Amino acid sequence: MGIIEKLRLDGKKTFVTGGARGIGYNIAIALAEAGADVAIVDVDEAVAKTSAEEIAKATGKKTLALKADVTKKAEVDGMIDAVLKAFGRIDVAFANAGICKNIPAEEMTLEDWNQVININLTGVFLTAQAAGKVMIRQGGGSIINTASMSAHIVNVPQPQCSYNASKAAVIQLTKSLAVEWALKNVRVNSISPGYIGTDLTLNSPALKPLIEKWNAMAPLRRLGKPEELQAIAVYLAGDSSAFTTGSDFVIDGAFTCI
């Protein structure tokens, strides 16, 4: 089998949390374009349905829209059951759901802190745990977690200690699961995007004023594009990355190099 064939995902069954828009949507459509069936999981069921329909129409692959709050184990387990019912197995799980709150540390409430940690870290654990159990029974699979360059640096000028801490923890969780499940043929890796020009970032009143400052600090002097994360996701999902586990891939235009 040649390298191009190994990069194909034909026959693989996948899901993406936070897949209705932004980075998650772009990952989902890349998986489908590479040949996989994809379930779009999101708290916004209406947008998830629209996104799933768009991907199915564009790629001809089977898609599914599911509503789930990744901080609630019962909903995560229900989502896994729904994917299994529709697809029969789970080959790739992409834990992408996350939020960020820009609040000075001295002003952050415990509620704010817990919300970020629960979605960004506990949600990733619950998703990986549920998918991992299925993959262990199947004899293998690939789990991909969305971390962030914020796990490696402290972003400025925005105050986001809870986000940075949660994403650093995601990388260590990824490494821990990779070691625990290595001999069970379940690979676990993470992707750490830099500043990405999603619709949310580009149109957010709070973030738009910061883009010029970020670009001034960036070696490439621009934001990344969501589609520039697609190739690494397809690689990690496919058979060509069989020896790749426990790794974090920083896709940030060299931002963390400075």
**23-73 pLDDT tens trace:** 999 999 999 999 999 999 999 999 999 999 999 999 999 999 999 999 999
- Determine whether 163 is an active site residue: yes
224: DSSP letter: B
Q: Is the pLDDT of residue 1 over 80?
A: no
Q: Is 12 a catalytic residue?
A: no
Catalytic residue among 12, 167, 192, 195: 167
Contact 129, 174 (CB under 8 A): no
In this structure, the strands spanning 13-17 and 92-95 are parallel
Catalytic residue among 142, 148, 190, 241: 148
Residue 208 predicted with pLDDT over 90 = no
pLDDT of residue 206: 80
Query: What CATH topology corresponds to 3-198+226-253?
Result: Rossmann fold (3.40.50)
185: burial class by Cβ within 10 Å (0-12, 13-18, 19+)?
middle
- Alpha carbon distance 58, 34 (integer Å): 12
How far out from the chain centre does Cα 109 lie? 26
Report whether pLDDT(105) > 80.
Answer: yes
The two tokens of residue 200 are 């949310």
In whole angstroms, what is the distance from residue 6 CA to residue 187 CA? 16
131's CB contacts (< 8 A; 6+ apart) are 15, 80, 90, 93, 95, 141, 143
| Residue of 49, 142, 150, 163 marked catalytic | 163
Q: Is 240 a catalytic residue?
A: no
Q: Which pLDDT score is estimated for 44? A: 96
pTM above 0.85, yes or no: yes
